Amino acid sequence: MSDVALRMERVYKKFRKGEVYNSLRDLLPALTGKMFRQQELSEKDKREFWALRDISFEVKRGEALGIIGHNGAGKSTILKILSRIMKPTTGSIVVNGRFSALIEVSAGFHQDLTGRENIFLNGTILGMTRREIESKLDQIIAFSGIEEFIDTPVKRYSSGMYARLGFSVAAHVDPEVLIVDEVLSVGDYVFQQKCMERMKEVTRTGTAVLFVSHNLRSIAEFCNGCLLLEHGRLVMSGSPNDVIQRYMNSGRIVGRQDESKPVVISEVRIRSQHGESVRFESGETAWIDVELTARRTCTKMAVVLFFTDESYYEVFNTSTERLGNGNFSLDPDDTFSCSFELRLNFANGSFRPVVAVYRYDTETLLDRWESATCIYVGSATDVRGAVNCFPQVVRHEVVKATAGKSKTLTAILSEGSE
């Protein structure tokens, strides 16, 4: 068998938007009307739009490819075409090997059946035989972590349990080609980690994975390659870091279209010592370069930089004026640039940088650049929250009540081993 597990070649997909006749009652009068009026054809053309235009890519065995893009960019359409639910308008797809899609893993569940019955139902829908399911039943139930409720009808499940059971079934299909769409967004942190582990495991065994997610952190961690889609077009493919950087900057383009703004932030670059990056180690130094152009005369401005966490809660804020550089004024077409240097003492997690041009005395916001995505900070020490205080445990002891005196942990350990 060839090395390529999944290939899409020059795929176009056309959709119709707007009104479609979905009852005979509407269709019959429309058909008779059409016989008398001929101009409807041109109206029909207007209603069509291309959801995908000229998409080509391939995934080899053991590779994981991520797809990112804004809502409506065509990510789900690609997955639906690959899973053969939809046919491309033109172009071809090749899928080599047993195929499994984790698109809404609990789609096959029936509310009135128990968890166990649903494992069989969903497993068969995903392409397993009855015997296979029987042999993996214990594993599946254990992975889902809902042993107690396995004989309860799933309509009584919480939404998290529901999704966990769905993923557990899907994760045990042992496919050669796996498609994952945003399923990891459900379930708690521990379960998400478990899912990522499972996905890494299947790639090691030679499965090709196609991964669609808004969680850029998991894309950067997990994928070897990444595609960026914009309005149905493939605009970039490359290493996850580069593509994510480009995706982040694409948020800026939206703001630029607004002609009424007196000042426009034309460029924001986030650098580490190795160049542009979106992944940092906790405590690493980052540089943020900002460039802006004035359209009209503006006075007493300052550049504000702040970070928010994933729930848009501000965790850090500073500005050129607060840092003692005073304010600046620009005439039309003047440009201004500045660079911030900062140590990212963030805890593990994603943070969203925002740059704004602000006038403090009149409290006016002149322009705002918001990154479409986040930077992620990894840390060797496992700390949660917003900041990393680089903690260390310098004392760790158990005091035995019976002994009446304290023993260090090492002392207790060595006693136990004797």
Q: Which residues bind another protein (CB under 8 A)?
A: 15, 20-25, 27, 80, 83-87, 101, 103-104, 107-108, 110, 112-113, 117, 120-121, 124-127, 129-130
Distance between CA 88 and CA 52 in Å, rounded? 9
| Cβ 232 vs Cβ 50: under 8 Å | yes
Whether residue 180 contacts residue 6, with contact meaning beta carbons closer than 8 Å, is answered with: no
Q: CA–CA separation, 350 vs 378, rounded Å?
A: 9
Contact (CB, 8 A) for 384 and 348: yes
The backbone region for 182, taken as left when phi is positive above 0, alpha when psi lies in -120 to 50, beta otherwise, is left
- Cβ distance to another protein smaller for residue 21 or 390: 21
CB nearer another protein, residue 137 or residue 342: 137
- Strand partners of residue 50: 14
Nearest distance, CB of residue 390 and another protein, angstroms = 46
Say which amino acid occupies 9. Answer: E
State the nearest-atom distance from the C-beta of 82 to another protein, in Å: 10
**C-beta of 28 vs 365, nearer to another protein:** 28
Phi, psi (degrees; rounded to nearest 5) at 373: -135, -160
Q: How far is the CB of 129 from another protein (least distance, A)?
A: 6
The smaller minimum CB distance to another protein, of residues 77 and 373, is found at 77
Shortest reach from residue 103's CB to another protein, in Å? 5
| Residue with Cβ nearer another protein (27 or 142) | 27
- Of the pair 24, 394, the CB lying nearest another protein is at 24
To the nearest whole angstrom, how small is the minimum distance from the Cβ of residue 165 to another protein? 16
Considering the complex, what minimum distance in angstroms separates the CB of residue 122 from another protein?
A: 9
Identify whether the C-beta of residue 247 lies closer than 8 Å to the C-beta of residue 235.
Answer: no
CA torsion angle for 78, 81, 87, 88 (degrees, to 10)? 30
CB 90, min distance to another protein, A: 14
What lies within 8 Å, CB to CB, of 111 at 6+ separation is: 153, 154, 155
Name which of 85 and 380 has its Cβ closer to another protein.
Answer: 85
SS3 (DSSP) at 129: coil
> Phi then psi for 226, rounded to 5 degrees?
-150, 145
Q: Which is nearer to another protein, 129 or 299 (CB)?
A: 129
**Residue 117 C-beta: closest distance to another protein, Å:** 7
SS3 at position 161: helix
Could you identify the residue written with the tokens 């009855």?
A: 130
Nearer to another protein, 90 or 381 (CB): 90
CB of 41 to another protein, least distance (A): 20
Instruction: Kindly state the helix (H) or strand (E) to which residue 408 belongs, with its residue range.
Output: strand 406-408
The secondary element (H helix, E strand) that includes residue 355 is strand 349-359
Give one DSSP letter per residue of 276-312, joined into a string: E-SEEETT-EEEEEEEEEESS-EEEEEEEEEEE-TTS
